[in-house]
Structure formats: structure tokens, C-alpha cells
Chains A and B, each alone.
Chain A
Amino acid sequence: MEVRTTRFGMVEIAEDRVITFPKGLLGFSKFTRYCLLEPGDDACFFWLQSLDDPGLAFVVTDPSMFVTNYTVPIRPEQLGDLGIDRLEDAQVFCIVNKVDGSLTGNLQGPLVINTLTRNGEQVVLAEKRWSTRHPLVKVGAAEQRARAVPA
């Protein structure tokens, strides 16, 4: 299927790559279908592109690449909602934001996706251990180098 996006133009997506968030993401409950786009060969960050709104896309990453001790406590009922039988079938992403020169990850509201059915949910963590803006990596220095390169 062809997906129209404002950032990347038309992108061809196989039907079996569609990721569904039946409840949407918090604040975006109307948009339930997404796909994952990979910007480069060895990418740490991915785009979670809405199939319903060409302009809606989030940068997401696997938080364990930056925060080694991060875990998502999840109740058996939530696993049931997602149809996850084995924990190995679940993949965690977090939405990335940029705050004051740092890329931050929303570790309090991670995305848990059943990799078999590609159904997902944004989970709300009750514990205060993780914030919505957990620093992942400083980008200020890298950006300045990028600006110094003439276009």
C-alpha cells in the first residue's frame, strides 16, 4: 500500500507492516494505524508514521539502547489486551522529543508492541522512577558541527 507522508513523500508499505494502536496514542486517539520507517542502515531512531494523517509522525527509539536498566512493569491483564503470550514477543519503544539540546525519551509512557500481531499500546507507568523527558543523548555539539558544514 502507498502511504502519503508530508516528510518523506509517498512510501510503499507492505500490508503486514502496519502497526495498530487500537486506543491510539494519548492525545491522538483518532489515529490508530502507523508504520515504522527506518532513516538509515544502522539507525538508532525510527519514525513512527501515521497512516491516517500524513503530517503525524513521531521519532521513536528502543530505550534499552540508552538506558540499560529500563524495564516496563506490565500487568498480566495488559498483556492479555495486547494478545502477548510470551514476553519475547513484545517490543518496547519510546517517543523521542528534543528539549534544550538533548534528545529525551518518554519513559513514563512507553509503547509496547506485540511483534506477532503488530498491535500496540501506549502504557502509562505509575511509578515515578521514569519521567516523560528522560535524557537520552546530547545533540547540541553534533548540531553545531552540522551547521558548520556548508549546504
Chain B
Amino acid sequence: MKFRPASASAARPVLGAGRAAMRRGTRLARDIRAGKRGARSNEMLVLSRQRDETIMIGDEIEITVVDIRGDKIRLGISAPARIAVHRKEVYESIRKENEQAARLAGEELIPLAGEPPGVSPGPRRLRVRPASVTGLSSPKAAGAAGQVRANARSPDPWALRKAG
């Protein structure tokens, strides 16, 4: 099997060491090429890595293959805190939910959108008036409860730790 780099930038070196790794890389590259045929998406650089080997993205982002077990790969990512790292599914589910909420927010929700929970909606009220973010008329909304709060119990290292 002859190795061909996946991306158009053929001059870019493939970091994988060893013939087996290169063969795996080749097959992966071919699969991805086949999947993307005809699409005008960005070229994808395909690299082969072994356990404990690392890829650098720019100067600051490192992705290390921590463990490989069956079809599951554990990656270690170290990046500056300002760069958000998320599983793509999370983004996708929020995006889909946004799109669905935008579709649903039609007549269906109009009788509900103005009613407090548990109260039977009256006739449709299409009249609206501007509300300011700070001066919401609902006393509950104006309270402090809706604000961003430090989540002291969260083990998430990203949870806000307020200085001082």
C-alpha cells in the first residue's frame, strides 16, 4: 500500500512513527477522503499517533493520546483557559435545541409566553412592550437569584472562583 497524505499540503510531515502506524493512517485518510468527496469542507489533516505521543496545535495547545482501548481513545488536552474545549455533541445539542425553539416560538407559545406557570392562559395577548434586562417587571426576575453564581460545590475546575 502506498502512502498518500490526506491533506493537500503534501509537504507537511506525517508525525507517525513506524510502518504499521503509517498504514493505519493511510487507511483512515482514505476513509475520510471518501466520506468528504464532493463536499467543499476544509481539508482535514490526518496524523497517526501512538500512545503517549502528542500533537501541538499552535504554540499553546497540546493533545496527547493517553490511552487506547478497543475503539475508545482517551485524549489529554492542555490549552490556555481562554480556549473552550468541549465535546462536539454538546455544541450540537444546544444548536439543535436553539433551532427547534426558534421554530416553536410561534403561535403555539404565544398564549403561554405571558403567563406565570400554573395559571390558565386568558385570551391571546399579542401586545408586547420592550423590557430592559435590568428592569424586568417580575419581582422574582429582578432579584439576585437569576444571576451567575459561583458554584462552590462543583468539582468542575472551571467553576468560578471569585478572587478575594
**A, B assembled together:** yes
* Contact B98–A26 (Cβ < 8 Å): yes
Contact with B along A24-36 (1 / 0, CB 8 A): 0111100000011
CB-CB under 8 A from B159, the residues of chain A are 73
Interface with A: B14-22, B23-31, B85-93, which one?
A: B85-93
User: Is the pair A71, B98 in contact by a Cβ cutoff of 8 Å?
Assistant: no
Asked whether, in the complex, the Cβ of B105 is within 8 Å of the Cβ of A37, the reply is no
- The dominant DSSP class at the B interface is loop
Contact call A27/B99, Cβ cutoff below 8 A: yes
B113-144 CB contacts (< 8 Å) to partner A: 113-121, 123, 125-134, 136-138, 140-141, 144
In the complex, which residue of chain B has the Cβ closest to the Cβ of A63? B146
Chain B hits for A133, CB < 8 A: 97
By beta carbon, the residue of chain B nearest A40 is B114
Chain A 102-137: CB-based contact to B (< 8 A → 1; otherwise 0): 010010110011010010001011110000110011
Closest-by-CB residue of A relative to B149 is: A71
* A108 cross-chain contacts in B, Cβ below 8 A: 90, 93-94
A59 cross-chain contacts in B, Cβ below 8 A: 101, 105, 109, 112-113
- 15 A-B pairs with CB atoms under 8 Å apart are A7-B106, A7-B126, A26-B91, A44-B141, A45-B109, A59-B109, A62-B138, A65-B140, A72-B149, A87-B149, A93-B146, A98-B109, A108-B90, A115-B134, A132-B97
